[in-house]
Amino acid sequence: MKPLMLHGHERSITQIKYNRDGDLLFSSAKDNHPCVWYSINGERLGTYEGHQGVVWAIDVDWETKRFMSGAGDNMLMIWDVQTGKALGKIEAKTSVRTCNFSYSGNMALYSTDSTMGNPSEIFIIDVRTVDSSFSTNDPILQIPLTNAPKATSMVWGNLDEVVISGHDNGDLAQWDLRTGKKINLVSEHAKSINDMQLSKDGGFLITASRDCTAKLFDADTLECLKTYKTERPVNSAAISPILDHVVLGGGQDAMDVTTTSTRVGKFDARFFHLVFEEEFGRVKGHFGPINSLAFHPDGKTYASGGEDGYVRLHQFDPSYFDFKFDY
Amino acid sequence: MARRKESDRAQQNNDDSDSNPNDELEEEPDFDDPEGYEDDISEQDLMGDLIRQRPKETDGVESIVVIDGVPQVGPERIEKLQNVLKKLFQKFGKITNEYYPLNPDGSTKGHVFIEYSNASEALEVLKGTNGYKFDKNHTFTVNLLTDFEKYNDILDKWENPVPQPFKEQGCLQYYLLDQDACDQFSVVYEQGDKVAVYLNTQPEPSLLEERPRWTETLVRWSPLGTYLATFHAKGIALWGGEKFQQIVRFSHPGVQFIDFSPCEKYLVSFSPLADSRATDEPQAIIIWDVLSGLKRRAFNADKSQALPIFKWSHDDKYFARMGVDMLSVYETPSFGLLDKKSIKVQGIRDFAWSPTDNTIAYWVGEEKDTPARVTLLELPSRNEVRVKNLFSVADCKMYWQKSGDYLCVKVDRYAKLRKDKSDIKYSGIYYNLEVFHMREKQIPVDSVEIKETIQAFAWEPVGTKFAVIHGEPPSTSVSFYEVKTGQTPTMVKKYERKPCNQLYWAPSGQFIVLAGLRSMSGALEFVDTQDFTVMNTGEHFMATDVEWDPTGRYVSTAVSWWGHKVDNAYWLWSFQGRILKRVALDKFCQLQWRPRPPSLLSAQQIKDIKKSLKKYSAQFEVKDRLKMTKASKELVEKRRKLMQEYEDLRKQKQEEYAEQRRQRIELRNNVDTDETEGRGGELEEETVEFFIKEETTFIDE
C-alpha cells in the first residue's frame, strides 16, 4: 500500500515514537519543533514550540499525558501532550542526547553530551510533579561518565530498577539504580550505538550500530543472541511486536550522501527474520539515510523517519503476513 | 663473561676470608673433576665460540700472494724482472716483502711470493692481476697463500653428489577429478590480508582453504591451473596439491609482475625496481624453471616497454621480446637467441604469437614513402608467410582468435595527416578490420570498414564470430560478424544503442556477456549468439570485473576494492544470466577461476557427447534436484534448531514476565496495561448524526 508521507519537518528527522495506544505518532527533527500526528491518516495534530536547538530525543509516557524532549539547546522539556504547553524544563550543561520515561512514568532519564570539558552524564529524575520548581529539584541519581565514552542511546530495564546505556565506542552498560553502580558491561559492537529498542515484553533488546550491524541482546543478561548484518551504518532498529521480525534502517553516512547516488547509499528499510538473521524484504522510499524506525504497537504498520525530513507510514500488505519461512 | 664474574666472586670471597679470618665460612665445594673423569661434553659444545677464535697457523699469511707464470730468467736478468714486477704490483699496496725462489743454477723458478701490509691489498691484487697477460707467452696466475690450505682439503677422489630424495607432492591435478566437475576459484579480500579458495558447488560454494596473509598483494593461477602463485616482498611462491602445500619458491626481491609460459614450464618474474642496485648480473627479469625452481636466465628491463615484455609461443619452445628495430626470439631450453641473432625489423611497433602455431604476427609503422605492413613470420624457419601492406595507418592492434584460425588486425586509419613540428596529428580517423584466414591457402585477407570509433573487439574463442562495440558512449552499438571461407565477413546482428564497454565470450563460444562496467554502472546482458536472443539482463551496480569459469557454465561479476571502495562483493550467475549467489566481503579485491588444461577428448568424442546431451542432462537434473532438496533440508534443519533455542529462551522470558505482572501493575497505579497495548490503533466506528437542514415540501394531491 502507498505509504503516508508526513512532511511537517523542515530538516532531518532525529527520532519518531508511537504512544502506547498507537493512535499518535511523535516525531522530532533538527528543526526545533517536535510534532504529533494521527497515525491513522497522517494528519498533524500539533507541534511543541519552545526549543531553540536541534531536538535529539523524544518520549511519551504510558498514559500519553506527558511528552518529553531533549535538545541541542541544552534543554530537557516536559510538555502536556494535549495542550502542547511546556510544563517544566531543566537546563543541562551540554546538549541532551537521550530521554526516556520509565515504565511507571514516575521517573525519567536523560543523558548529555560530552563537550567543552563537561563529561557525558546520565540523570535520573522524578517527574511526578512537574511545575515551575521542577528545574531546581535535585536529580534522584546522577552518573557522570568521566573519561568514558559518551552515552548515545538509553533504555529503561526491567521494572524500573536498571537502565541500559549504549555508548559511542559500541559498549553496552547496565546500571543499578539503587546503588548507581555499573553492574554489567559488554563490548559487542565495534562502533557507536545509534539506537536501542526493547521488545514488547522487555525481554529482548535490539541495538543499531554504526559498525553496519544490529544485534539482539537478552535485556537482562546483555548476552548477544543474534547479529543482523548490512553494508551500511545502521541508525535504528525495531522488533515487531507480533511477528519474529526486525526492521533495520540506516544508510550511508549523512555527510557522504551528497557525493553519491541513492543507489549507493542504500537507504532502504530492511526486514530480517529475528531468529534466522536472514533478510527477507526491503522497503525503499527515503532519499537519505533512515534515522529512526518504529513499529506500531499492533505490528501492522511501521514508521520511518529519514535524513530527507520525511516520516513515512507504511501499512503492511497482506503478503507480508502470509510470508513464512520454512522450518 | 659469566666465567669472569664467577672468578671475580671467588676472588671476593677470598678477600672476605682474608679480611675476616675469624668468620666461619662455609667450606667451598670442590668443583674439580675427580681423577680419571671424562667429560661427556666435548670442548666444541662447551665453548665453541672460543675455539672458533683460536689463532690459526695461517694467521699473518693472508697478505701473501703467490704469482705463477712469471718468466724464468737467468741470474743476470733477475734485477730487471724484479723492477718490472715491482712497478706492476706496487699499484695495489705497500709491498713489505718479496721472495723469488731460485733454481740451483741461479735462475728463477717462475713463481714469486709477495707480501703486502694487509690482507685486503692482497685481495685487490688477486682481482687485478689474476689472468694478467705479462707478455705473449706469460700469463699470471695469482693465488693467496691461504688458498693452498683450501685446495689441500679437496678429496682426491670424486664423489658423486647424493641425489635429493624424491618429495611426494601428491596429485597436483586432483582438482580435475572432482565428481561433478565443479570449478575452483580463489578470492582475495580484506585488502589482500585473506585468501580463500572455494569449490563452486551448487547451491552453495564450499570453502576448501582459507589463509590469512597468504599473499601480500594478489594471487595468480598458472595457465593450466596446476599452481597458485602468491606474491611476497622477497619473491614468488607456488602452491598446489590437495592441501595447497608449498611446491616451490622463487626468490626475487621486489617482484611485482609474473607471467607463466603457456605450458607452465617456465615462470617470468619482473621486479621493476631491481635494476637500481648496481650489480653485473641483470636483476629485473628472471626466467625460472617451474619444476626445479632454478633460475634459467635473467634480463635487464627496458622501462618504457609494455607488459608483458616477453611473449611466449604456445608450446613453450620460444619466447620473444621487442627491441628498437628488432625482434629477439629466444629458444628453450638453451635460453639463447634463436640462430644466435635477433631478427632485424625496421620500425617494429608490436608483435603477437599465434595461440596455436609458432607464427609471430608483427606490424611496422609507416616511414616516409613505405607503407605500414603486417607480417606473419614462421619460426624457426623465419619464413615470411604473409605480408600485408596498409596505407594511411595511425595505429594497429592485433587480435588472434584463441583457436589460431584467424587473426584480426584493427587498423586506425586517417584521412588527413598534419605534422606540427614533432607532433603528428591525425584527423578523420576511421577503422578497418583486416581478417587473416590462417587456415586457408596463402592466407587471404578480408577487410571490414567501420566508420565509428571501436570501443572493444573480441573473437569468439571457438567458432567463427567476432563482436565489436562501436560508436561514442553512451550511444554505442554492438555488431556481430561471421567469418566464412572465401567471403568477406558478414554482419549477422547489430544491436543499436546498447550501452556497454566490454565483451566477454564464454570460453566455449556461443554465449557472450555484454557488460557496461565502472562508469556504465554495471549493466549486464547475456546473449546467445546462435539465434541472438537476449537470455537475460542484469545489473551488478558498479561492477569492475566479469569472469567466465573455465567451462563456460558460470559467470562471476565483482566490485573490487581496487576499483571501487564501497560495496565490494562478488556475484555468481549462470551462463543464462540467472543470479545464483551474492557474496559481500569486506575489502574484496579479486576473484579468479582456476583454469583447466585443454580437454583431452577428441573432436569426435565431443560430438558424441553433444549428441547424447539429452540423456545426460536428465541425469544431471535429477542430481541437481537432489542436491537442492538436501540443501534446503539442511537449511530447514538449521532453522528449526535455531528456532527451538530461541523458543526456549522466549518461554523463560515470558514466564518471568508473567511473574512480574503484579509489580508492573503496581508501577502503573494499579492499571493493568498488559491487555490494552496497541488498542488505540483499532478505531471503533462511530456514527455521528448532524442535523443540517429541514425542508418541508407540500405535495399536492
Q: pLDDT tens digits, residue range B514-544?
A: 988 877 888 899 999 888 888 988 888 888 9
A164 with A158: CB under 8 angstroms?
A: no
> Which of B421, B402, B499 shows the shortest CA–CA distance to B456?
B499
Question: Quick one: B610 and B593 in the same domain?
Answer: no
Q: Is the CB of A297 less than 8 angstroms away from the CB of B667?
A: no
Per-residue pLDDT band at B635 (split at 50, 70, 90): confident
What b/e sequence results for A251-270 when a residue is b if at least 16 CB atoms lie within 10 Å of its CB, and e otherwise?
A: bbebeebeeeebebbbbbbb
Residues B202-230, mean pLDDT to the nearest whole number? 88
B219 with B230: CB under 8 angstroms?
A: yes
Least confident of B219-223, B330-334, B420-424: B420-424
In a domain, A326, yes or no: no
Residue B303 has pLDDT above 80, yes or no: no
- B209 vs B104, B171, B195, CA distance in Å? 80, 17, 8
Question: Quick one: B179 and B130 in the same domain?
Answer: no
pLDDT per residue over B637-656, tens digit each? Answer: 888 998 899 899 889 888 88
In a domain, B549, yes or no: yes
Residue B453 has pLDDT above 90, yes or no: no
Half-sphere exposure of A326 (CA within 13 A, CB side): 8
Q: Give the count of beta carbons closer than 10 Å to the beta carbon of residue B217.
A: 15
Question: Quick one: B120 and B141 in the same domain?
Answer: yes
Q: How far apart are CA B566 and CA B542, in angstroms?
A: 9
From the list B566, B639, B678, which residue is nearest A22 (CB)?
A: B678
B633 near A CB under 8 A: no
Domain total for chain A? 1
Q: Name chain A contacts of B680, Cβ cutoff 8 Å.
A: 19-24, 297
Residues A177-188, mean pLDDT to the nearest whole number? 87
In a domain, A226, yes or no: yes
Q: Determine the pLDDT at residue B674.
A: 67
Q: How far apart are CA B24 and CA B31, in angstroms?
A: 20
Average of per-residue pLDDT values in chain B:
83
> pTM for the complete prediction?
0.69
Residues B324-352, mean pLDDT to the nearest whole number? 86
Residues A121-129, mean pLDDT to the nearest whole number? 86
Q: Determine the pLDDT at residue B18.
A: 47
B679 near A CB under 8 A: yes
Residue B4 has pLDDT above 50, yes or no: no
In a domain, B698, yes or no: no
B523 with B499: CB under 8 angstroms?
A: yes
In a domain, B255, yes or no: no
Residues B621-627, mean pLDDT to the nearest whole number? 86
Higher pLDDT among residues B563 and A15, named by residue:
A15
In a domain, B4, yes or no: no
Q: How far apart are CA B24 and CA B3, in angstroms?
A: 26
Q: Determine the pLDDT at residue B56.
A: 64
Cell of B82: 724484479
Q: Which domain does B630 fall in, by range?
A: 605-640
Q: Determine the pLDDT at residue B371.
A: 87
Q: How far apart are CA B569 and CA B506, in angstroms?
A: 22
Q: Is the CB of B681 less than 8 angstroms away from the CB of A264?
A: no
Q: Which domain does A59 fall in, by range?
A: 3-320
Q: How far apart are CA A46 and CA A38, in angstroms?
A: 10
Cell of B611: 549428441
Residue B49 has pLDDT above 90, yes or no: no
Side chain identity at A278, as an amino acid letter?
E
A236 near B CB under 8 A: no
Q: Determine the pLDDT at residue B19.
A: 46
Q: Which residue of A has its CA nearest to B587?
A: A231
Q: Determine the pLDDT at residue A34.
A: 92
Average of per-residue pLDDT values in chain A:
87
Instruction: Answer with the one of B536, B569, B598 that is the final residue of a domain.
Output: B598
Q: What percent of chain A has pLDDT over 70?
A: 96
In a domain, B547, yes or no: yes
Residues A155-175, mean pLDDT to the nearest whole number? 88
Residue B404 has pLDDT above 80, yes or no: yes
A54 with A72: CB under 8 angstroms?
A: yes
Q: Determine the pLDDT at residue A257.
A: 52
**Cell 661434553, residue?**
B41
Q: Give the count of beta carbons closer than 10 Å to the beta carbon of residue B533.
A: 10
Q: How far apart are CA B533 and CA B551, in angstroms?
A: 21
Q: Is the CB of B642 less than 8 angstroms away from the CB of A275?
A: yes
Q: How far apart are CA A135 and CA B268, in angstroms?
A: 79
Q: How near does any CA of chain A get to the CA of B674, in Å?
A: 9
Residue B418: exposure state from Cβ atoms within 10 A (0-12, 13-18, ≥19) = exposed
Question: Quick one: B623 and B590 in the same domain?
Answer: no
Q: Determine the pLDDT at residue A255.
A: 64
Q: Determine the pLDDT at residue B176.
A: 86
Domain total for chain B? 3
Instruction: Answer with the one of B640, B662, B696 that is the final residue of a domain.
Output: B640
Q: How far apart are CA A132 and CA A302, in angstroms?
A: 37
Three-state DSSP at A119 gives coil
In a domain, B412, yes or no: no
Per-residue pLDDT band at B399 (split at 50, 70, 90): very high
Q: Determine the pLDDT at residue B147.
A: 76
Higher pLDDT among residues A172 and B275, named by residue:
A172
Interface test with B, best of A4, A43, A62 (most B CBs within 10 A): A62
> Which of B494, B625, B652, B109 shows the shortest CA–CA distance to A218?
B652
pLDDT per residue over B55-113, tens digit each? Answer: 666 566 778 888 888 888 888 888 888 888 888 888 888 888 888 888 888 888 888 88
Question: Quick one: B547 and B626 in the same domain?
Answer: no
In a domain, A325, yes or no: no
pLDDT per residue over A214-265, tens digit each? Answer: 999 988 888 999 999 888 889 999 999 988 899 999 887 766 655 555 566 6
Question: Quick one: B187 and B146 in the same domain?
Answer: no
Residue B504 has pLDDT above 90, yes or no: yes
Q: Determine the pLDDT at residue A203.
A: 86
In a domain, A274, yes or no: yes
Half-sphere exposure of B163 (CA within 13 A, CB side): 3
Q: Determine the pLDDT at residue B15.
A: 46
Residue B503 has pLDDT above 60, yes or no: yes
In a domain, A327, yes or no: no
Q: Name chain B contacts of A40, Cβ cutoff 8 Å.
A: 681, 683
Residue B146: exposure state from Cβ atoms within 10 A (0-12, 13-18, ≥19) = middle
Cell of A117: 570539558
Integer-rounded Cα Rg, in Å, for chain B is 41
What b/e sequence results for B332-369 when a residue is b if at least 16 CB atoms lie within 10 Å of its CB, and e otherwise?
A: beeeeebeeebbebeebebbbbbbbbbbbbbbbbbeee
B567 with A264: CB under 8 angstroms?
A: yes
Per-residue pLDDT band at B5 (split at 50, 70, 90): very low
The CATH number of the domain holding residue B196 is 2.40.128
Residue B469: exposure state from Cβ atoms within 10 A (0-12, 13-18, ≥19) = buried
Q: Determine the pLDDT at residue B496.
A: 87
Q: List the beta strands (DSSP E) in A284-322.
A: 290-295, 301-306, 311-315
Q: Determine the pLDDT at residue B1.
A: 43
Q: How far apart are CA B115 and CA B119, in angstroms?
A: 9
Give the helix/strand (H/E) hosting B180.
Answer: none
Least confident of A57-61, A318-322, B122-126, B582-586: B122-126
The CATH number of the domain holding residue A311 is 2.130.10.10
From the list B660, B679, B683, which residue is nearest A159 (CB)?
A: B660
Question: Quick one: B592 and B613 in the same domain?
Answer: no
In a domain, B568, yes or no: yes
